[in-house]
């Protein structure tokens, strides 16, 4: 009887483990069509409500607004009966106001830093001359097309038209059959897709190459690239038909993203200035 029970438990454990593995693999594909917020859960249940309220007030007085509002949100959710008696919504509004001011200040500083960087941005670029257009790519990006890569670049044709591109190349000995991509930046997932070109190298050991070369032509896509450039942590996920591969986005790659975006925006600004000067001269 004991042996039978042991076998039953072992089989049940194996089934649970197998299901868990399948769920983890499927979850990436399930989440690949939307932005997923991976909220870090904090448990303050071991702190009495009265003390937790004192914590939030102390955090506000000390200017520790992010941790303070986190504890306040927990208190509001855990003890809704205290909302009116302790004026928790009023306190939350004060936190939100302070956090909004901090965000505005951070955005202003980031905008000023970009304006200061932009005049020198093109100095970080390597220019590849083609027949009808030039390619501008960061000096740190791969010089040869045979390397696996995750980078951005922009082109400028003879008419002055500027286009920003995202290029991703995955190389392995087996096909991944990439269907879509996901980037995780500071615990937020962003998905995108595009036409993936599959090629195979020649020689004794044939490598499979899967390449996305996508024109960035919307504000949403540009914002994603800026998010990648400015994130604390970032990684890319290449989602295939039956599995996926992860690649870390290094700090050097993030700096390259920032350099190219700065140079791209500066080039567009120059184009607009030249265009205005041209039309102004025509009106004289």
Going by C-alpha positions, the residue among 274, 270, 272 that lies closest to residue 121 is: 270
Please, what sign has the CA dihedral across residues 14, 20, 25, 29? positive
State the helix-helix crossing angle for 88-121 and 49-61, rounded to 10 degrees.
Answer: 40
Residue 212 near residue 194, CB atoms below 8 Å: yes
pTM: 0.61
Residue 191 near residue 33, CB atoms below 8 Å: yes
Domain spans, the chain: 49-120, 130-283
H/E stretch holding 138 = strand 133-138
Q: Which residue has the tokens 């190389």?
A: 171
Residue 136 near residue 153, CB atoms below 8 Å: yes
Residue 148 reports pLDDT greater than 70: yes
15-19, 43-47, 134-138, 201-205: which has the highest mean pLDDT? 134-138
pLDDT tens digits along 78-95 = 999 999 999 999 999 999
Identify the pLDDT of residue 106. Answer: 79
pLDDT tens digits along 185-213 = 998 999 988 999 999 987 778 899 999 99
For a pLDDT cut of 90, what percent of the chain falls above it?
Answer: 58
Residue 7 reports pLDDT greater than 80: no
134 phi, psi to nearest 5 deg: -110, 145
Q: Binning pLDDT at 50, 70 and 90, where does residue 279 land?
A: low
Q: How far apart are CA 282 and CA 271, in angstroms?
A: 17
Q: Summarize the confidence of residues 114-122 as an average pLDDT.
A: 71
H/E stretch holding 168 = strand 162-172
Residue 120 reports pLDDT greater than 90: no
Q: Binning pLDDT at 50, 70 and 90, where does residue 96 land?
A: very high
Residue 175 reports pLDDT greater than 90: yes
Q: How far apart are CA 249 and CA 208, in angstroms?
A: 21
Work out the mean pLDDT of the chain and round it to a whole number: 81
């Amino acid at each position: 009887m004991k042996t039978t029970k042991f076998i039953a438990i072992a089989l049940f454990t194996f089934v649970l483990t197998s299901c868990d593995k399948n769920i983890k693999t499927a979850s990436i594909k399930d989440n690949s069509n939307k932005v997923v917020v991976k909220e870090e859960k904090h448990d303050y249940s071991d702190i009495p409500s009265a003390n937790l309220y004192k914590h939030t007030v102390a955090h506000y007085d000390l200017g520790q607004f992010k941790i303070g509002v986190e504890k306040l949100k927990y208190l509001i959710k855990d003890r809704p009966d205290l909302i009116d008696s302790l004026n928790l919504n009023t306190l939350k509004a004060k936190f939100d106001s302070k956090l909004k001011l901090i965000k505005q200040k951070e955005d202003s500083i980031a905008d000023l830093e970009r304006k200061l960087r932009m005049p020198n941005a093109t100095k970080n670029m390597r220019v590849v001359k083609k027949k009808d257009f030039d390619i501008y790519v960061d000096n740190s990006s791969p010089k040869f097309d045979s390397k696996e890569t995750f980078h951005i670049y922009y082109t400028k044709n003879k008419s002055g038209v500027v286009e920003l591109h995202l290029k991703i190349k995955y190389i392995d000995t087996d096909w991944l059959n990439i269907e879509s991509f996901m980037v995780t930046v500071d615990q937020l997932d962003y998905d995108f897709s595009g036409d993936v070109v599959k090629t195979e190298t020649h020689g004794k050991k044939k490598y499979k190459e899967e390449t996305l070369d996508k024109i960035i032509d919307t504000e949403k896509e540009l914002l994603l690239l800026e998010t990648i450039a400015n994130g604390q942590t970032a990684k890319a996920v290449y989602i295939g038909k039956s599995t996926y591969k992860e690649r870390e986005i290094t700090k050097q790659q993030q700096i390259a993203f920032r350099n190219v975006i700065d140079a791209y925006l500066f080039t567009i600004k120059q184009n607009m200035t030249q265009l205005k000067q041209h039309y102004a001269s025509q009106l004289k």
